[in-house]
Chains A and B, each alone.
Chain A
Amino acid sequence: MSAAHTGPDGGRAAAHGAADRPRLTTRLVGEHALLVELDSGSAVEALHAALLERREAGSLPPVREIVPAARTVLLDGVHDPRALAADLPSWDVPAQPAPARDTVELPVRYDGPDLAEVAALWGVPVDEVARIHAATEFRVAFCGFAPGFGYLTGLPERYATPRRATPRTSVPPGSVALAGPYTGVYPRSSPGGWQLIGTTDAVLWDHTRVPAALLAPGTRVRFVPAGPAVRP
């Protein structure tokens, strides 16, 4: 018994020499959703961009949610996910998605309580953590955990950071944090196991604002070092 829905041609649309055809696997998720699995974060980004373009152009069947994640895109609220699964492998998806729209700049003070630990993990002096982080162009790979929380990719693999052995019961809002390959900013106070390296005053989520979320999948992000924390 296999969980994976295999499409008419076996599900895995391996690239038949066509570099612009995505390598993808489709899996049915219940009766009205489809999980598309890709082999890299950039392939997820490319397919996500293509899905949004097609929805904008009216050429995508109605879908309630398009949820990109680390290696997948979930399409939920689809009338006929089998038909979409059969159609997807024939799409031409540019390997490089459209150039970034705006870049969001987040002012940051690199004053987190885990800076020294991260520096030790990376094998660099403490100052270097801030320099490396601020020099990185990040992209919101996906959101989750809490409204407005983005999983930002962009740090080189060698700077992947393990979670804390014991999560904190309360992480202050605006905390800039690292876990695995990701950087994130806590939109509000919550428990959390990520390593805290800094603080931003940017408001990540405000439901009275349009758009409510400062970061959405695909948003480019730069952290701009601000002055030292002003302590009252």
Chain B
Amino acid sequence: MTDSAVAVIRAGALTTVQDLGRPGHAHLGVPRSGALDRPAALLANRLVGNGTSAAVLETTLTGCALRPRRTLTAAVTGAHCSVTVDGRPAAWGAPVRVPAGALLDIGHARAGVRSYVALSGGVAAEPVLGSRSTDLLSGLGPAPLADGTVLPLGVAGGPYARVDTAPQPRPPVELVLRVTLGPRADWCTHEALKTLTTRAYRVSPASNRIGLRTEGPPLERAIPGELPSEGLVSGAVQVPPDGRPVVFLADHPTTGGYPVVAVVREADLWAAAQAVPGTPVRFVL
């Protein structure tokens, strides 16, 4: 291992390596994967002078702590949290200099779910099918971080951004997901579609990178059973047998047999990555 590496001192609840994912392989059963809050990941890379395809770390609720072996620039975006370097407060949402051997600690999320940690040069884990993203559904890409994991870093490229703080959206107090109906809206009753688009749901604690699960009034099916398996997209609102809609996120399966009654606009999906369990959800046409 060269000095261009970072040691994981505290992995946190679930910290994974993410980039923009591995599109183009869905026909082989390979999910797209990639950062769940893509704008936050892109911003973190921009702040440290990385290219858009550099791999960052995606934390889940409890942050992580890292000790780089070389001096680097880091930036933490996404879920709002404390950032310290060797115990001294540092900026969230701005470039931070981390000397070689110093401890970069990303604290628990104060608002939102997932923080993104960009390191100058990017995380240079071994790519799989052109991407370094951890895919939790199919187990492709680097394993989730563990205490003691050492990750290689790439060569730092451009200069870091000269900003004090970069503007970022606040995590949603209420998650409003604009949808278009279909392709299988006819598998639910008219009443159920009205329920979906008028009643309030909440983010279920069972949500993960595969899907945002919801709690709320179950949707009644007009047609029982399963469809022959068909391709799925990110943002698909699937109705499983319990009738509670699931919104598919980056690590979703590539095919499935439960009906997809609506699809969330891509621009609204990033906020879904930051909605803590219990957040009210509204699906609007």
Contact between chains at A67 and B27 (CB < 8 Å): yes
The answer, yes or no, to whether B230 is at the interface (CB within 8 Å) is yes
Q: Which of A27, A28, A148 sits near B28, CB closer than 8 Å?
A: A148
Contact between chains at B265 and A143 (CB < 8 Å): no
Give chain A nearest CB distance to B283 CB in angstroms: 13
Contact between chains at B27 and A217 (CB < 8 Å): yes
Contact between chains at B180 and A66 (CB < 8 Å): no
Do A74 and B230 contact each other (CB < 8 Å), given the known contacts A30-B263, A68-B27, A149-B29?
Answer: yes
Contact between chains at B180 and A31 (CB < 8 Å): yes
User: CA separation between A217 and B30, bound complex, in Å?
Assistant: 13
- When A and B form their complex, what is the total count of cross-chain residue pairs whose Cβ atoms lie within 8 Å? 128
Contact between chains at A143 and B28 (CB < 8 Å): yes
The answer, yes or no, to whether B266 is at the interface (CB within 8 Å) is yes
Q: Which residues of B contact A145 (CB under 8 A)?
A: 29, 253, 255
- Interface of A (DSSP majority class): loop
Contact between chains at A148 and B186 (CB < 8 Å): no
Q: Which of A3, A5, A144, A147 sits near B261, CB closer than 8 Å?
A: A3
The answer, yes or no, to whether A4 is at the interface (CB within 8 Å) is yes
Contact between chains at B27 and A216 (CB < 8 Å): yes
Q: Which residues of A contact B253 (CB under 8 A)?
A: 144-145
Contact between chains at A3 and B184 (CB < 8 Å): yes
Contact between chains at A3 and B185 (CB < 8 Å): yes
Identify the closest chain A residue to B264 (Cβ).
Answer: A30
Contact between chains at A69 and B261 (CB < 8 Å): no
Contact between chains at B140 and A207 (CB < 8 Å): yes
Identify the closest chain A residue to B261 (Cβ).
Answer: A3
The answer, yes or no, to whether A33 is at the interface (CB within 8 Å) is yes
The answer, yes or no, to whether A29 is at the interface (CB within 8 Å) is yes
Do A146 and B182 contact each other (CB < 8 Å), given the known contacts A31-B266, A35-B230?
Answer: no
Contact between chains at A30 and B231 (CB < 8 Å): no
The answer, yes or no, to whether B278 is at the interface (CB within 8 Å) is no
Q: Which residues of B contact A71 (CB under 8 A)?
A: 228, 230
Report, as a range, how many residues of chain A touch the other chain.
Answer: 35 or more
User: CA separation between A67 and B183, bound complex, in Å?
Assistant: 15
Do A30 and B235 contact each other (CB < 8 Å), given the known contacts A5-B182, A143-B254, A146-B138?
Answer: yes
Q: Which of B139, B140, B183, B193 sits near A1, CB closer than 8 Å?
A: B193
Identify the closest chain B residue to A30 (Cβ).
Answer: B263
User: CA separation between A170 and B225, bound complex, in Å?
Assistant: 25
Contact between chains at B265 and A212 (CB < 8 Å): no
User: CA separation between A7 and B24, bound complex, in Å?
Assistant: 27
Do A142 and B182 contact each other (CB < 8 Å), given the known contacts A29-B260, A147-B29?
Answer: no
Contact between chains at A143 and B231 (CB < 8 Å): no
Q: Which residues of A contact B231 (CB under 8 A)?
A: 35, 65, 67-69, 72-74, 76
B165-181 interface with A by 8 A CB criterion: 180-181
User: CA separation between A142 and B178, bound complex, in Å?
Assistant: 31
The answer, yes or no, to whether A159 is at the interface (CB within 8 Å) is no
User: CA separation between A147 and B253, bound complex, in Å?
Assistant: 10
Contact between chains at B230 and A69 (CB < 8 Å): yes
B97-149 interface with A by 8 A CB criterion: 128-129, 138-140
Q: Which of A4, A33, A142 sits near B27, CB closer than 8 Å?
A: A142
The answer, yes or no, to whether B190 is at the interface (CB within 8 Å) is yes
The answer, yes or no, to whether A64 is at the interface (CB within 8 Å) is yes
Q: Which residues of B contact A33 (CB under 8 A)?
A: 233, 263
Q: Which residues of A contact B256 (CB under 8 A)?
A: 144
Q: Which of A28, A74, A146 sits near B29, CB closer than 8 Å?
A: A146
Q: Which of B27, B190, B229, B266 is most buried by chain A, counting CB atoms within 10 A of its CB?
A: B27
The answer, yes or no, to whether B205 is at the interface (CB within 8 Å) is no
Identify the closest chain B residue to A144 (Cβ).
Answer: B255
The answer, yes or no, to whether A134 is at the interface (CB within 8 Å) is no
B interface footprint on A5-32 (CB within 8 Å = 1, 0 otherwise): 1000000000000000000000111111
Q: Would you list 20 pairs from A and B whose C-beta atoms are within 8 A, ordered by A residue?
A: A3-B261, A4-B186, A5-B183, A27-B183, A28-B180, A28-B182, A31-B180, A32-B266, A69-B229, A69-B231, A69-B255, A70-B229, A71-B230, A74-B231, A142-B27, A142-B229, A143-B28, A145-B253, A151-B229, A207-B129
Interface, chain A (partner B; CB < 8 A): 1-5, 27-33, 35, 64-74, 76-77, 142-149, 151, 188, 207, 212-213, 216-217
Top 7 nearest A-B pairs by Cβ distance? A74-B231, A3-B185, A30-B263, A70-B228, A144-B255, A67-B231, A27-B183
Known: A69-B255, A147-B138. 13 other contacts (CB 8 A): A2-B185, A3-B186, A30-B263, A35-B231, A67-B27, A70-B230, A72-B230, A143-B254, A145-B29, A146-B29, A147-B140, A212-B129, A213-B28
